[in-house]
Structure 1
Amino acid sequence: MLQRLYYFVILLLATYVLGQERPIALIGTILLPDQSINNGTLLIVNGHIGAVGAEISIPNNAIILHTHGVILPGLIDLHNHLTWNIFPRWKPLEEFGSRYDWQQKPIYKTLLESPHRGLVEAGLSCEMQRYAEVKAITQGTTSVIGSLRRPCNRGLARNLDDDPTLGQILYDVFPLQMIDMKLKEVNDILSSNGSLFIHVAEGSPNDATAAREFLMLKARNLLIPGVSFIHGVALKENDFRAMANASVGLIWSPRSNLELYGDTTNLEAALENHVITAIAPDWSPTGSDGLLSELNFAATWNAGLEYSLFDDRLLLGMATINPAKLVHLEKRLGALNEGYLADVLVLQLNNNQSKLNPYWAATHSTPEDVSLVLIDGKAVYGNSEIMKELVDSTNLESLEICGIEKSISFASQNGPQPSFRQTQQLLKNALRHWGRTLAPLSECGN
């Protein structure tokens, strides 16, 4: 108890001495990994969580917000391809055996590959990523993997695979093509507590080509701690047992799996073998717009099974504490614990079921329900009236999500930036020359 009080006092002193922003006290239903706290308080001090609980002493200079909602950790997305999220949904007319199949289709090359390459060659990569990061944040995501490198990473979302302060994280779409020099670099990083995320066994459950990838990676000594497999639809039960024994994680992307391959990972085998599993949306063309929608999709998929595989609390953990574990950041991100980085999501409670079970609210909410997103303790996005209490109105831009007005702040971004409307218009104009339209920030249930 004295240690906690000491830490809290140090955080407060740092705030006053360094002249940082005023503390923020969020009051509402707080979701922890093992329990919820009704009418609890989350105190944010100097970019970190200063205290959390039912009876918290709030500093006199704190900004107090009665959220009337659910307060949870910001969502962590470990599998995305951000620059592709400018494209509308692609609805293939067939199911594929593996990723190698659809990547060779003329319709994929026409609708996605060629226009994507055209915009990249036109120098619009950073604009594409900026749009995708905003899209992710409107879905409650605060940390992402699958971004470009600097200078495109300018301090909006946390770009985990390009932030050395958070460790060494590698993201490889085609691991079987690694040359020996790259493989040595990977092993060096893994031996230094780094992480590697690789696409493995992406295809239908019975596709021999996709299934064979597991054996090939095992032969390359990549079945080792620090590695996580993305997709894994073609993995067999014995493969999950081997993954668990080697402390290898899994990234599950159910919507994209079902749309492309007609089935998804053997999640039951993964959970029974205690493989640490995270959920992620993959990309907008065949996955979800963002993590909040992917949670909703997964909950709906689970409800359609004869026997449910998980409850809402376990599912939420796949978007918070589990991904934090897979990047070795479970002592800094993924939970609302004292001393953790203040990446926070606040959701509205809109019906009786969400009020009775706040974890249900977290896994069944829509983008319209996002009240507030904080990254590093700074308000980045949310309902306009809340944002105006936390951010100078001159730093706010308005957005419309499914008919609801929201506000976003780009104050955390490094260097001069165009307005978001300018970014949208630039991308719209460029896409028209390739016969494409800019995807909306949210499909709004369509």
Structure 2
Amino acid sequence: MSPAANPKRWALTGRIVTMATEGDVIKNGTIFIEDNRIAAILPKGQPAPVGFEAVAAVTTGGTIYPGLIELHNHLSYNVLPLWRVPQLFGNRDQWQNAKSYKTSVTGPMSAIALADDGSLLPALVRYVEAKCLVAGTTTSQGITLSNWSGTIHKYYKGALRAAEIGSPPDLPRAHSKIPDIDAEDWAKFDNELKSSACFLLHLSEGIDPKAHSHFLALRNSAGDWAIEPSLAGIHCTALDATDFGTMAQHQAKVVWSPLSNLLLYGKTTDVVAACAAGLTIALGSDWSPSGSKNLLGELKAAKVVSAHFNLGFSDYDIVAMATRNPAAILKWDSKLGTIAKGKFADLVVVKGVTGDPYAPPDQIARAGYRPGHDRRASALWDQEGHAAGRRKRRGPEGRQECAGDRFHLARPGSGDREDHAGGSNDPIECRARQSRHVAAAQHRDVGRDRERNGVTNRMASRAGRAVRQQCPIAPAAGI
């Protein structure tokens, strides 16, 4: 950062989507930045602020948004490809003990940890940070690992901001916990909640009674709940409207990862009930073994899920889940989450200045300026996920590549699954193909630069179309 006597001043022009409120858009404006803070935001034609008269603004040719903020990931695992989920599970203990999971996920990560010679882990961290930045994510979460957290923690202080590190006092650090809370840990956990600005807890992940029991464990024998305004429950897939009402009474929050939920459990969080209870909801891509490549991909997954299940979320609502909502959950909203004077210049630029500013972007132009770091990640992707200048390859429209599959999906808030029948009845084979096709339909929007689980670039496009054509999901009753 430049010294106060000689500040660094620069400016960006474009369409500005502040995310302060829906519709708060400057069609053609300039953001003036001094060091790492926004000094002013002015429409085109207004004189530059004092001190910026000689500053030549950078014409972005795009739409400027707040940098995306992610509240659920396991960043180091994002070096791995998508795991072929063999079946639906009832809770996370089941898939963590699956043989193929140990072979495809825990085995490779353990090998990386053991093989580190001092240069491997730093390279791993830079790579997974880059995956976030090229999709406009400037803050993510999930640097804690059971075996080598102390070693790897020090490397997450680079281009990507980590929620668990923050930047006190402006950005207080968040606490996180993956294991479930047991009765004997209740008092300790309750004290941690009361002393934390934000506590991100994996809560009731799964859909069976065992998963739900972990929520009930937050209540002690005296009837007191270990739920505070600082609590942000990750997943919460086993919770119902009554549970979300309890969380709302204590001003807790929810972090949603729809793609990972659907692949592992066949249903996702009842976010409609959570929203109706008044809970703030944020998004997280979870991790590459069962989720999106990055937060931009999860935004697209959330839009698809909302449309298919008729959840009623507008495009603005979904974008808010990756900007203003997570900033508020972290208690960072005075510095991040929206574009405003005095806040950090934490910005992402999406190519183009026309159309609905909250709709999924066709192209990303420049992603991720981090205040205090003169690093910018640049990438250009078209809507089909190809790098700019690469020839597109498309299969015939309407080609039924996965006509023989059976897909099992459940509406949020229901215990029922919808069967979309096809040919093969073998559950392992069907679930493996479903995992590939559903993930391919979502991942293709971010990039098809390499094969994922045996699905080639051309097959990914065809599989994505076939999933949409063969799996029309009826609106959930009562929503």
Is TM (by shorter chain) over 0.5?
yes
Q: Which residue of 1 aligns with 2:178?
A: 173
Q: Which residue of 2 aligns with 1:142?
A: 138
For 2:337 and 2:167, the matched residues in 1 are separated by 18
Q: Which residue of 1 aligns with 2:124?
A: 128
For 1:379 and 1:263, the matched residues in 2 are separated by 42
Report if the CA contact (8 A) 2:11-2:30 is conserved. Answer: no
* TM-aligned CA deviation for residue 379 of structure 1: 5.1
CA offset digits 1:75-126 (Å, max 9, x no partner):
0011110110000111213111111111001100001101101101222333
- 1:64 matched to 2:57: yes
More helix by share: 1
**Structure 1 length as normaliser, TM-score?**
0.77
Q: Which of 310, 314, 326 in structure 2 is aligned with 1:311?
A: 314
* TM-aligned CA deviation for residue 190 of structure 1: 3.6
Q: Which residue of 1 aligns with 2:357?
A: 358
Q: Which residue of 2 aligns with 1:210?
A: 211
Report if the CA contact (8 A) 1:26-1:42 is conserved. Answer: yes
Q: Which of 296, 300, 310 in structure 2 is aligned with 1:296?
A: 300
Check 1:85–1:178 CA distance in 2 against 1; reply closer, same or farther (3 A cut): farther
What secondary structure sits across from 2:155 in the alignment? coil
* TM-aligned CA deviation for residue 60 of structure 1: 2.6
Give the alignment of 1:227-246 within 5 angstroms.
227-246=231-250
What secondary structure sits across from 1:176 in the alignment? coil
For 1:235 and 1:17, the matched residues in 2 are separated by 51
For 1:82 and 1:343, the matched residues in 2 are separated by 20
What secondary structure sits across from 1:23 in the alignment? strand
* TM-aligned CA deviation for residue 23 of structure 1: 1.9
CA offset digits 1:111-162 (Å, max 9, x no partner):
1101101101222333322211110111110011112554212321111202
Check 1:199–1:273 CA distance in 2 against 1; reply closer, same or farther (3 A cut): same
User: Which deviates further from its counterpart, 282-291 or 64-73?
Assistant: 64-73
* TM-aligned CA deviation for residue 246 of structure 1: 0.4
Q: Which residue of 1 aligns with 2:406?
A: none
Letter in 1 for 2:105: L
Report if the CA contact (8 A) 1:254-1:298 is conserved. Answer: yes
Report if the CA contact (8 A) 2:32-2:38 is conserved. Answer: yes
Check 1:137–1:183 CA distance in 2 against 1; reply closer, same or farther (3 A cut): farther
Check 1:371–1:150 CA distance in 2 against 1; reply closer, same or farther (3 A cut): same
Letter in 2 for 1:159: A
What secondary structure sits across from 2:288 in the alignment? coil
CA offset digits 1:210-263 (Å, max 9, x no partner):
111110123384211201100011101100111111011000000000111111
Q: Which residue of 1 aligns with 2:66?
A: 73
Report if the CA contact (8 A) 1:140-1:345 is conserved. Answer: yes
- 1:86 matched to 2:82: no
Unaligned runs of 5+ in 1: 1-13, 386-400, 406-438
Letter in 2 for 1:359: Y
* TM-aligned CA deviation for residue 282 of structure 1: 0.4
Report if the CA contact (8 A) 1:139-1:370 is conserved. Answer: no
For 2:230 and 2:179, the matched residues in 1 are separated by 17
Q: Which residue of 2 aligns with 1:429?
A: none
* TM-aligned CA deviation for residue 20 of structure 1: 3.6
* TM-aligned CA deviation for residue 179 of structure 1: 6.9
- 1:50 matched to 2:39: yes
User: Which deviates further from its counterpart, 187-196 or 169-178?
Assistant: 187-196
Give the alignment of 1:366-377 within 5 angstroms.
368-376=363-371
Q: Which of 196, 200, 209 in structure 2 is aligned with 1:197?
A: 200
Q: Which residue of 2 aligns with 1:394?
A: none
Check 1:269–1:404 CA distance in 2 against 1; reply closer, same or farther (3 A cut): same
* TM-aligned CA deviation for residue 45 of structure 1: 1.3
For 1:57 and 1:161, the matched residues in 2 are separated by 40
Identity of aligned residues (%): 29
Q: Which of 236, 260, 264 in structure 2 is aligned with 1:256?
A: 260
For 1:90 and 1:160, the matched residues in 2 are separated by 26
For 1:330 and 1:91, the matched residues in 2 are separated by 38
Letter in 1 for 2:85: P
**Structure 2 length as normaliser, TM-score?**
0.72
- 1:273 matched to 2:277: yes
Cα RMSD over matched residues?
Answer: 2.7
* TM-aligned CA deviation for residue 51 of structure 1: 1.2
* TM-aligned CA deviation for residue 187 of structure 1: 4.6
CA offset digits 1:17-59 (Å, max 9, x no partner):
4434332233324343312110122221110111123255331
For 1:443 and 1:130, the matched residues in 2 are separated by 21
* TM-aligned CA deviation for residue 193 of structure 1: 4.9
Letter in 1 for 2:346: D
For 1:40 and 1:377, the matched residues in 2 are separated by 24
For 2:280 and 2:379, the matched residues in 1 are separated by 37
For 2:126 and 2:108, the matched residues in 1 are separated by 17
* TM-aligned CA deviation for residue 73 of structure 1: 0.3
Letter in 2 for 1:156: A
Count residues in correspondence.
372
